Amino acid sequence: MGNRYFEVLERASSFLDKQGKEGYSILFVFLERKGWSKTDWLLHLKEEISSEDEQQINDDLRRLVQNYPPHYLLGYSDFYGHRFQVNEHTLIPRPETEELVDLCLKENSTESLTVVDVGTGTGAIAISLKLDRPNWQVTAIDISEEALQVAEKNADHLKADVRFIYGDVLKPMKGQKIDILISNPPYISNTEWNLMDESVRTFEPKTALFAENEGLAIYQRLAEEAKELLNPNGKIYLEIGFQQGEAVKKLFQQTFPQKQVQVAKDLAGNDRMVIVSSKKKEA
């Protein structure tokens, strides 16, 4: 009898572990490619593996050991209950960003609002908001034409009526008023390069990751440009690096002295979001 599924995958996983990589990633990619649930896996693991599947595992293993991200291998990533196409022109959407979307939806009603997502990448934030709030007028901006092509495909596929614009931060919105600004901008400082996972450093787009001035450059521009555009009761939702809470809060508090600026934590307990909203009325 030939090799069984679990033997081949166990060998592949242990090979990755020995190379200092994430061993589980090969099983994750394999199950996704087969469309198998964990239950399916338990039913099949002792079966003899097909030569096609063995070949596919070996091909994937070669890429994974070179730090190629599993989601780029698959060509998609799941985010907020929807499947988004990803490639090397887009960041892979992260679970922390789902928390940003969730917070924005929880805090805002279904009435018609003008919403702008800056640095949309795959379109994950803008599309997820639009699908949950069909009444919102959602515009998504990115400085990468290649990323916008991916985002537009995702919107078509998921039937989300989002307006995509090529442009730099909020410049395309000049002269317009907005109710909600939301953004997961580049926020990693160049000094944090060595802390990054190798797969991120090697394959994910640098323009979507890094920002000048200790990672704060885009927040400074967002604050400055939002000052002209945000409606009096408008709100801002930002994803931040876990060490940037105080700096970003201070920046937006200076720009919007009349508003309330808060830092919120993600599920892991790290500072992850800054929210700018109308001042609470005095009791």
pLDDT tens digit string along 46-94? 999 999 999 999 999 999 999 999 999 999 999 999 999 999 999 899 9
Assign residue 245 a region (left: φ > 0; alpha: ψ between -120 and 50; beta: otherwise): alpha
Please give the model's pTM, rounded to 2 decimal places. 0.91
Task: Scan for tokens 């920002």, then name that residue.
Answer: 211
Beta bridge partners of 141: 118, 165
> What pLDDT, on the 0 to 100 scale, is given for residue 282?
43
> What pLDDT, on the 0 to 100 scale, is given for residue 123?
97
Predicted confidence band at 213 (pLDDT cuts at 50, 70, 90)? low
CB 100 within 8 Å of CB 273: yes
Q: Pick the residue with more confidence: 266 or 206?
A: 266
- The SS3 assignment for 10 reads helix
pLDDT tens digit string along 190-211? 666 666 677 777 876 676 665 5
**Mean pLDDT over the full length of the chain:** 91
- Reading the block at residue 249, the tokens are 């809060």
Q: What is the Cβ-side half-sphere exposure of residue 276, based on CA atoms within 13 angstroms?
A: 31
pLDDT tens digit string along 159-187? 999 999 999 999 999 999 999 999 998 76
